Structure 1
């Protein structure tokens, strides 16, 4: 990704700050995203209308199920606009084809009800991953909090709120002398014209929520990538190296400053004015005079005419009647029942997925023979890593002018020593995640030089700012004292 062209500030954000960023982007781009949504959904809606036999309930259900087809063009548009390349009108057909790819099949079948759809869609659409790589990538991204799931639940509730608001708005906009919208028929009788108005209102509702849902999921994805890959550090290092002045310019600036200082010191000094002390009593007297003025204290008695008899109470509006209140209560009951059934269904699906995942892990453990091999942390290290020979090998790398290999060896050896101290490090963890695990589990004395080593390694890996041999030597000395102060894992010789 071209991080230098991104239009937002890259920094570590909480999940809720990421959602706020996505909503702000959706407000800024709402009209082009909303038009793009209708450009992708309207042709399909017109095609499905005769295929469903003009059944409004089936027609709306199919349009709702195919939501990912309309969300993919919005994600493609947002990803380009975020990096300063706002798509023009000629690129719209290419954006509309973004949803008609092979990777869309799972989102329309077994993953359609997944609560993290907007958060995980960039893995296939933007990164182009599929198969095992996509599953590993999604597993790594999902290791965060539950904000993507909450985003989906809140988006569905806002669709219901917006749909109900449109229905009530249509109901109240029609004068009482004319035939009004029957709210009960709007949700129960699919043969009535009121049901079609209800269906179109719901279609309008999820067309308005779609830009916010897609942009918020994309912002959560960017926030997770920033956390995993330290995009903020990489961009800061790039800007720092680009804006660092040259040695010649520093010398010129210092010379100009010294000359200006010498000229200013030769100027005669002006007379200094003495400070005048104010009298506190005089200030209090002035405040009292101001408060006693008529502007600050004046009472007036005003008489007005009023009716002697109390007015008769106004009659209730004709549209408030027991029949209409009963219809509204029935409507709210249907809406509440549908919402509860939806929540119960999603809870059952999540529970079944969790049970199947746990059972599958148990089955795999029972089917596979017990392994006496090394732990994932040890298996990820070279078999010839001997903590006793690490200082010798680090100095050999420094003698060969290879500080990257020296720091990499120190980092891997530190992971092995942390594992020996009882720290469980998952396979594929980033530097920041390893440091966070160690900080939560160990004391400051047990960490030793690990935080400084991680900072040096990130500066070298992301900004290509290599350390000096002296700093590596000091790190090595601290590392040797740290190793001698605690237990290490068994070395493989």
Structure 2
């Protein structure tokens, strides 16, 4: 991706902040996205009518199941617009080709009910990854938290609420003298015209939710990639490397003109700074005359709507709810009760599983740190102790190998933490290692690790080689940190 063309600020954001940014983008792009959704969905919906035998319940289920087919072109449109290339009508075939390719099939089959659909769809459609590479990419992205699942859950709830609001609005806003929609038939009876209205209302609702769902999922995906690949640092280094434009003659003259205006305004006569007292008195007199006029306080005759026939002998007793409404209320209450009980049981089971897993992890933890992950320490020579690290780092610096020196020092710091009992999984990124260390250690116990991580990321991803003096300073801090922790030497 051309991250230098992106239209939003690249920086580490929390997942919920990424959701909010996605919703903001969807508000600005709503009408193009909604129109694109209609272009893709309406032909499919019309084709499904005869295929489902004109049965509204089966037709609604089929249209609902094919939602990823309508959301994929929206993702392609958003990905281009976010990077500065807003698609036009000419680009419509290309958008449909991206969205309706063979890589959309998993989202219509076994991934259709996945709660992270909007979050993982860019991996297949935009990156074009499939098979083992796609599974590894999705597994890595999914380690960022459960926010994509919450996005899907909340979106479904919004659909239900808006759909119910539309039905109730049709029910309450139609005058009682006219035929009203039967709410029971609109929900339960598929052989009535009311059910068709209900089905069309639900299709309209999830067409309006789709732009927000797609943009929010796409921003969660970009936020996770920014976190993993340090896009913000890469973009900052690119901008820092660009030559700064020189000021033009007009730009250099702007401060001089501004100072001239400021001093000129200060030397202006002060007669305009105070209003005349006579003008103020006349204004007060005019206000008093207006307040004393007959327009204030006069009586007016107001007409209001009132019933033509009013029962003078007392109000009629309140009507009871129809039996079918009472039956629906009882059924909804019973469903909610059992649903809440099921959620409570699931929550207790998950809590018990997590507590048991943590307890087993504590009870099975060996007294010694165990073998180190090979992927983290593969650059440390076999048989070398931590005491030999300073000499090796200085030797690398003497040979001009700043990358080898800094990498050796970074991995030695991680080895020191593992010897202190900190578990670091194989394949963990620099930020993940730092986050694990911050959870276990205080700020004073981290020593030079935050600086090491920052310098190493700048060298590994942005190819910014630090000065030898910086590495020497980090080495000195590392030696003091290790001595203060009083760690025994362990051969690697």
TM range (shorter): 0.7 to 0.9
Q: For residues 216 and 322 of structure 1, do their structure 2 counterparts lie closer, same or farther at Cα, with a shift above 3 Å needed?
A: farther
CA distance in 1, matches of 2:334, 2:56: 20
1:84 corresponding residue in structure 2: 84
33-42 or 375-384, larger mean C-alpha shift? 375-384
1:434 corresponding residue in structure 2: 433
226-235 or 90-99, larger mean C-alpha shift? 90-99
1:52 corresponding residue in structure 2: 52
Deviations 1:231-263 (A, max 9, x none): 222212211221458xxx89xx9xx9xxx9xxx
CA displacement at 1:127 relative to structure 2: 2.2
CA distance in 1, matches of 2:461, 2:375: 25
Q: For residues 313 and 196 of structure 1, do their structure 2 counterparts lie closer, same or farther at Cα, with a shift above 3 Å needed?
A: closer
Count, aligned residues: 458
Unaligned runs of 5+ residues in structure 1 are 261-271, 274-285
331-340 or 79-88, larger mean C-alpha shift? 331-340
- Aligned partner of residue 377 in structure 1, secondary structure: coil
Once the two structures are superposed, the pairs formed by residues 140-159 of structure 1 within 5 Å of their partners are: 140-159=140-159
CA displacement at 1:71 relative to structure 2: 1.3
Contact 2:369 2:421 in 1 (8 A): no
1:410 corresponding residue in structure 2: 409
Q: For residues 76 and 315 of structure 1, do their structure 2 counterparts lie closer, same or farther at Cα, with a shift above 3 Å needed?
A: farther
CA displacement at 1:155 relative to structure 2: 0.9
CA distance in 2, matches of 1:4, 1:431: 24
CA distance in 2, matches of 1:71, 1:338: 31
Contact 2:372 2:418 in 1 (8 A): no
2:420 corresponding residue in structure 1: 421
CA displacement at 1:61 relative to structure 2: 0.9
2:484 corresponding residue in structure 1: 485
CA displacement at 1:315 relative to structure 2: 6.9
322-331 or 410-419, larger mean C-alpha shift? 322-331
CA distance in 1, matches of 2:94, 2:333: 41
Deviations 1:115-156 (A, max 9, x none): 221112122222222233333322322223332222112111
Q: For residues 311 and 30 of structure 1, do their structure 2 counterparts lie closer, same or farther at Cα, with a shift above 3 Å needed?
A: closer
TM-score (norm 1): 0.77
- Aligned partner of residue 53 in structure 2, secondary structure: coil
CA distance in 2, matches of 1:303, 1:296: 16
Question: Aligned pair 1:461/2:457, yes or no?
Answer: no
Question: Aligned pair 1:377/2:373, yes or no?
Answer: yes
Contact 1:118 1:218 in 2 (8 A): yes
Contact 1:184 1:327 in 2 (8 A): yes
Once the two structures are superposed, the pairs formed by residues 2-151 of structure 1 within 5 Å of their partners are: 2-151=2-151
Deviations 1:100-129 (A, max 9, x none): 444434333333222221112122222222
1-10 or 133-142, larger mean C-alpha shift? 133-142
CA distance in 2, matches of 1:437, 1:201: 49
Contact 1:187 1:334 in 2 (8 A): no
Contact 1:155 1:213 in 2 (8 A): yes
CA displacement at 1:81 relative to structure 2: 1.1
Q: For residues 488 and 125 of structure 1, do their structure 2 counterparts lie closer, same or farther at Cα, with a shift above 3 Å needed?
A: farther
2:314 corresponding residue in structure 1: none
CA distance in 1, matches of 2:428, 2:231: 16
- Aligned partner of residue 144 in structure 2, secondary structure: coil
CA displacement at 1:218 relative to structure 2: 0.8
CA distance in 2, matches of 1:78, 1:167: 32
TM-score (norm 2): 0.77
Question: Aligned pair 1:209/2:205, yes or no?
Answer: no
C-alpha RMSD of matched pairs (Å): 4.7
CA displacement at 1:397 relative to structure 2: 1.9
Once the two structures are superposed, the pairs formed by residues 245-260 of structure 1 within 5 Å of their partners are: none
418-427 or 382-391, larger mean C-alpha shift? 382-391
Deviations 1:370-412 (A, max 9, x none): 9x99545355312625323222222222222221121111111
1:397 corresponding residue in structure 2: 396
Once the two structures are superposed, the pairs formed by residues 138-217 of structure 1 within 5 Å of their partners are: 138-172=138-172, 174-217=174-217
